[in-house]
C-alpha cells in the first residue's frame, strides 16, 4: 500500500492535475497555450528563435507561425542576428512586456497562494527544492563565471554560512586564506557555478598560484541538490579546467567535519597528504596528479 513506486505515482498524479490547473489559468488571456509559452520564453530573455524552439520542443513550422501570431498582435519584434543573418532574434515590444508581466503576475500569485495556504512553508519549500533539483538534474548546467558575479557571490555566501554552522568554533572568512578573485579567473584559474533553471545551486573554484600546484577551493552544493552527484560533476569540471590550463598537480584542504566532501575526494582518486598550509580551519589535505 505504501511501496515506493506507488508513492512516486501518487506524487505524479497530484502534480499532473496541479500542472493542468496552472496551464488553464494561462488561457484567461485569450491566447492559446503555445503562443503564451513562446511569449514567456522570450520574456525570460531567451531571444534566439532556435534556442526557444529547442527549449519548447517545437517544430520549426509551428514555431514560425507562433512567432508570426505574436508579431501580428504587436507583442514582439524579430530582427536578424547581428553575426548570422539566418538566425532571428525575438524581443518584446512595450505592449509585449506588459502582456508578459501579466503572465508573470498570474504565476507569482499562484505560487504565493499555494504558500499562503500551508503552514509548513519551509518544509514545503525544501521539499520542492529537492524535487526540482532531482527532476532538473539533466538541466543543470555548469558554467564558468567570474567569482565576483552575483551568482558566484550568492554561492560563496551560502558556503561561508554553512561553514559557520558546521564548525564548532564558527567560521570567519577573514581568518582563512581567502583566495583573491583574480586567482580564480582564466588564465590563472577558474570558477564554475552550477545553474539549475536560473538558480545557482553549487560552485567550485580552481585557484591558480605561482607554486607548482593549483588548489581546489569553495566546493559547495546547495542542500536541496545533494545526493544527486552534483559535487562530483563540479569536481570533474574543475579538473577539466585544470587540464586545459596545463596544471599537473591539484591540492585542496578540507575539514573532517565535512564528511561527504572527504568521501567524495577519496573516491575520485585524491590521496591524503600532510598539511601544506597554515590555514586555521582545515585539518585534512589532499592531492591529485592529473
Q: Which residues bind DNA (CB under 7 A)?
A: 32-35, 48-50, 53, 58-65, 67-68, 78, 80, 83-88
Between residues 89 and 199, which has the closer beta carbon with respect to a second copy? 199
Q: How far is CA 181 from CA 108, 184, 185, 218, in A?
A: 36, 5, 7, 12
Q: List the x/- string, 229-248, binding to a second copy by CB under 8 A.
A: x-------------------
Between residues 51 and 180, which has the closer beta carbon with respect to DNA? 51
- What is the footprint of a second copy within residues 153-212 (CB under 8 A)? 154, 196-200
With H, G, I as helix, E, B as strand and everything else as coil, classify residue 227.
Answer: coil
Q: How near is the Cβ of 275 to DNA at its closest, in Å?
A: 50
Give the orientation angle of helix 259-267 with respect to helix 230-244, to 10 degrees: 50
80 touching a second copy, by CB under 8 A: no
Give Dmax (Cα) for the chain.
69
Alpha carbons 11 and 189: distance in angstroms, whole number: 43
Select from a second copy, DNA, none the partner in contact with residue 65, using the beta carbon and a kind-dependent cut-off of 5 to 8 Å. DNA
Cβ atoms < 10 Å from Cβ of 133:
26
Select from DNA, a second copy, none the partner in contact with residue 8, using the beta carbon and a kind-dependent cut-off of 5 to 8 Å. a second copy
Kindly tell me the burial class for residue 177, based on how many C-beta atoms sit within 10 Å of its own C-beta (0-12, 13-18, 19 or more). middle
Between residues 17 and 211, which has the closer beta carbon with respect to a second copy? 17
18 touching a second copy, by CB under 8 A: yes
What number of helices (H) and strands (E) belong to the chain?
A: 9, 9
Select from DNA, a second copy, none the partner in contact with residue 118, using the beta carbon and a kind-dependent cut-off of 5 to 8 Å. a second copy
CA dihedral 169, 170, 175, 181 (to 10 degrees): 150
Q: How near is the Cβ of 84 to DNA at its closest, in Å?
A: 4
And the C-alpha cell for 123?
518544509
Q: How near is the Cβ of 214 to a second copy at its closest, in Å?
A: 29
Alpha carbons 183 and 208: distance in angstroms, whole number: 5
Between residues 121 and 182, which has the closer beta carbon with respect to a second copy? 121
Footprint on this chain of a second copy (rule: CB under 8 A): 1-2, 4-20, 22, 57, 107-108, 111-112, 114-115, 117-121, 123-132, 134-137, 139, 150, 154, 196-200, 226-229
Amino acid at each position: 500500500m505504501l511501496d515506493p513506486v506507488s508513492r512516486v505515482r501518487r506524487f505524479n498524479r497530484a502534480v499532473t492535475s496541479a500542472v493542468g490547473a496552472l496551464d488553464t489559468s494561462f488561457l484567461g488571456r485569450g491566447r492559446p497555450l503555445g503562443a503564451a509559452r513562446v511569449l514567456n520564453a522570450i520574456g525570460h530573455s531567451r531571444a534566439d528563435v532556435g534556442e526557444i524552439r529547442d527549449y519548447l520542443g517545437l517544430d520549426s513550422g509551428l514555431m514560425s507561425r507562433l512567432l508570426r501570431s505574436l508579431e501580428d498582435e504587436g507583442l514582439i519584434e524579430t530582427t536578424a542576428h547581428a553575426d548570422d543573418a539566418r538566425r532571428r532574434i525575438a524581443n518584446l515590444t512595450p505592449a509585449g512586456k506588459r502582456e508578459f508581466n501579466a503572465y508573470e503576475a498570474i504565476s507569482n500569485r499562484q505560487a504565493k497562494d499555494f504558500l499562503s495556504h500551508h503552514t509548513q512553508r519551509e518544509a514545503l519549500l525544501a521539499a520542492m527544492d529537492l524535487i526540482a533539483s532531482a527532476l532538473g538534474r539533466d538541466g543543470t548546467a555548469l558554467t564558468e563565471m567570474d567569482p565576483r558575479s552575483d551568482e558566484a557571490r550568492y554561492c560563496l555566501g551560502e558556503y561561508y554560512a554553512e561553514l559557520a554552522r558546521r564548525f564548532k568554533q564558527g567560521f570567519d572568512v577573514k581568518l582563512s586564506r581567502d583566495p583573491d578573485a583574480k586567482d580564480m579567473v582564466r588564465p590563472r584559474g577558474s570558477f564554475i557555478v552550477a545553474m539549475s533553471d536560473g538558480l545557482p545551486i553549487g560552485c567550485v573554484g580552481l585557484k591558480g598560484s605561482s607554486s607548482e600546484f593549483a588548489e581546489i577551493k569553495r566546493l559547495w552544493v546547495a542542500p536541496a541538490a545533494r545526493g544527486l552527484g552534483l559535487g562530483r560533476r563540479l569536481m570533474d569540471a574543475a579538473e577539466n579546467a585544470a587540464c586545459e590550463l596545463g596544471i599537473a598537480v591539484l591540492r585542496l584542504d578540507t575539514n573532517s567535519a565535512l564528511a561527504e566532501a572527504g568521501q567524495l575526494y577519496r573516491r575520485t582518486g585524491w590521496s591524503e597528504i600532510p598539511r601544506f598550509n597554515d590555514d586555521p580551519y582545515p585539518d585534512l589535505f589532499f592531492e591529485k596528479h592529473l
